[in-house]
Copies of this chain bind each other. A is one copy, B any other.
């Protein structure tokens, strides 16, 4: 017996880490798509030639990383931006009473452009590489709370258009996933306080130079490829940015 996926002769470290790598590779290759179930544990264990306990340890780590989702009696599913699960994983604005609510998003602008040096470096593309840029305004309870300036590499999003962005009926990351096979799995954010630029202030109905929270985000796929650069200006007069740490 020597099935192609068999891992039992692997010698470069713990077996379960190798199994995890194989699973990750299959996920990156979209062998199983977001929202779909991966094969049952006994079947995967047999395929890789490991015990079910070893397989489960590999899956455990992917579940902890929000890459897979287990449901007893149903199966193990590839994380997707379709449902509610990832809805607030990447949206951190809350009301002053602590209420979490997803914003209404309005597309304000869409254009083709070329990457500046900073954006090119963040997105790991060549300077002046073609990119798509669009601006959204975010609304919570009828109030304008922020502006997102989003830049993505044009090569990764062929056919992304103003219409496509307008017609989506879900989050932007769901559109990336469903429309372009790009799954945002991790974000890296740095925050600072700045004076509002004139155009942003106008969109938010504020005086220019009002203090705004500026969030610089880079979004990554499972294989750590950066796929989106985003600057968000947030009016924190009536809302806040929340983060928990330690457990």
- Are A190's CB and B240's CB within 8 A? yes
How far is B28's CA from A58's CA once the two chains are assembled, in angstroms?
Answer: 32
Tell me which of A31-39, A147-155, A180-188 binds B.
A180-188
- Are B89's CB and A192's CB within 8 A? no
Q: Which of A213, A214, A240 has the most CB of B within 10 A?
A: A213
Question: How many residues on A have C-beta within 8 angstroms of the other chain's C-beta atoms?
Answer: 37
- Are A211's CB and B193's CB within 8 A? yes
Q: Does A168 contact B (CB under 8 A)?
A: no
Q: How many copies does the complex hold?
A: 2
- Are B211's CB and A191's CB within 8 A? no
- Are B236's CB and A187's CB within 8 A? no
Smallest CB separation, A194 vs chain B (Å): 6
- Are A189's CB and B243's CB within 8 A? yes
How far is B241's CA from A189's CA once the two chains are assembled, in angstroms?
Answer: 8
Contacts of A192 in B (CB 8 A): 213, 236-237, 240-241
- Are A247's CB and B185's CB within 8 A? yes
Closest B residue, CB atoms, query A234? B193
How far is B213's CA from A18's CA once the two chains are assembled, in angstroms?
Answer: 43
Q: Does A46 contact B (CB under 8 A)?
A: no
**12 residue pairs from A and B, CB less than 8 Å apart:** A67-B247, A89-B246, A186-B244, A186-B245, A187-B244, A191-B242, A192-B213, A192-B241, A193-B213, A194-B236, A211-B212, A220-B246
Binding site for B on A (CB under 8 A): 64-67, 89-90, 92, 94, 184-195, 211-214, 216, 220, 234, 236-237, 240-247
